[in-house]
Amino acid sequence: MSEAITIRPADEGDVGVILQFIRDLAKYEHLEHEVVATEGMLREALFGGRPYAEVVLACLNGEPVGFALFFHNFSTFLGRAGIYLEDLYVRPEARGHGVGRCLLTWLAATAVSRGCGRLEWAVLDWNEPSIRFYRNLGAVPLDDWTTYRVTGPALSQLAGAS
């Protein structure tokens, strides 16, 4: 019996599953100590009055086994929106079945159908299995760019808060 992979948009009832995928991804990346998200926070951010991101679930024979969380960004050089993939995760037992490829194919098709000029994401330098997977799909690293981030007290200070 062949395994059926389906991709579907997440709904508010999936918030618990989404949070578990986020925690599983963080554990894989050795960053579980950084996860402070709650179901309530995700519910508001994904399904509230102004959704900030979208989530699709990958299901194997109807059971969620992976997810992709993404949002639109904008390229001034292209003059077009893009899709930024924040998280992509497939449970270990579901890897090797084409689930990750299906998620990225869905995202690429969505980017094209929405008129986006690009699909991009970041990957940890040590994550060789993911790097090989992405390169096999035709993705190329942007070695000439460095990502910067401001969070916590530094963000508040920059915003002028005391």
pLDDT in 10s for each residue of the chain, 162 residues: 457 999 999 999 999 999 999 999 999 999 999 999 999 999 999 999 999 999 999 999 999 999 999 999 999 999 999 999 999 999 999 999 999 999 999 999 999 999 999 999 999 999 999 999 999 999 999 999 989 999 999 999 999 975
Q: Which of 28, 52, 89, 134 is catalytic?
A: 134
Which helix (H) or strand (E) segment is 7 a member of? strand 5-9
Of 50, 43, 139, which Cα lies nearest the Cα of 88?
Answer: 139
What pLDDT does residue 1 have?
42
Of 91, 104, 70, 71, which Cα lies nearest the Cα of 27?
Answer: 91
Of 39, 152, 41, 31, which Cα lies nearest the Cα of 87?
Answer: 31
Which helix (H) or strand (E) segment is 146 a member of? none
Q: Which CATH class is domain 5-158?
A: alpha beta
CB 18 within 8 A of CB 53: no
Does residue 52 carry a catalytic annotation?
no
Which helix (H) or strand (E) segment is 85 a member of? strand 80-90
Burial level of 13, CB count in 10 A (0-12/13-18/19+)? exposed
Domains of the chain by residue range: 5-158
Q: What six digits make up the tokens of 77?
A: 């050089």
What pLDDT does residue 2 have?
56
For the entire predicted model, the pTM comes to 0.92
